[in-house]
Amino acid sequence: MSVVTEVSPDQKKLTIAVKGRFDFGRHQEFRESYERLPHKPESIVVDLKEATYLDSSALGMLLLLRDHAGGDNSDIRVVNSSSDVKKILAISNFDKLFDIS
């Protein structure tokens, strides 16, 4: 499985870890990871520690996640980005929408 989810015991935090190539092939899995939860989490962490590559469809998936989580009211952090991934996120200025580290 290249998309692994974990919900905190109090159901308030959802962590989604993406492994390998974060591209169009991950679309279905990624959506399912947050769409069918019984309780909507208050905060979401997208862990890219094992993500090797990110393309524009991944950016699109992040936008869908943000939209689902409340848009401007969402609390989403993108963590453990490699320098390559960080570069891609920086060029697209996604740090204006997400907390990126």
Partner 1 sequence: MQAQEPLTILIAEDSAADRLLLSTIVRRQGHQVLTAANGAEAVETFKEQQPDLVLMDALMPVMDGFEAARQIKALAGEALVPIIFLTSLTESEALARCLEAGGDDFLAKPYNQVILAAKIKAMDRLRRLQATVLQQRDLIARHHDYLLNEQRVAKAVFDKVAHSGCLSAPNIRYLQSPYALFNGDLLLAAYTPAGDMHVMLGDFTGHGLPAAVGAMPLAEVFYGMTAKGYGLAETLREMNAKLKRILPVDMFCCATLLSLSFQSRSVEVWNGGMPDGYLHRMASGERVPLPARHLPLGILSAQAFDDRTDVYPMAVDDRVFLLSDGVIDTCDAHDQLFGVERLQQVFAANREPDRLFEDIEQALRDFRGQARDDVSMVEVSLLESAQAHGAAPVYSDSGQSCPLDWSASFEFRGATLRRFNPLPFLLQLLLEVHGLRAQSGALYSVLAELYSNALEHGVLGLDSSLKRDATGFARYYEMRAARLEALQDGFVRVHLQVQPQGEGGRLVIRVEDSGKGFDVARVMERPVDNVRLSGRGIGLVRQLGRNATWSDQGRSASVEFFWEIEA
Q: Which residues bind partner 1 (CB under 8 A)?
A: 56-57, 59-61, 63-64, 67, 72, 91-94, 96-97
Which lies closer to partner 1 via its Cβ, residue 10 or residue 83? 83
Nearest distance, CB of residue 59 and partner 1, angstroms: 7
Beta-carbon count within 10 A of 85 CB: 20
Residue with tokens 């890219």: 48
Q: How far is the CB of 22 from partner 1 (least distance, A)?
A: 13
Tokens representing 8? Answer: 């905190």
Q: Where are the alpha helices (DSSP H) in the chain?
A: 27-35, 56-68, 83-91
CB of 34 to partner 1, least distance (A): 14
- Rounded to whole angstroms, the Cα distance separating 38 from 51 reads 27
**CB closer to partner 1 out of 8 and 56:** 56
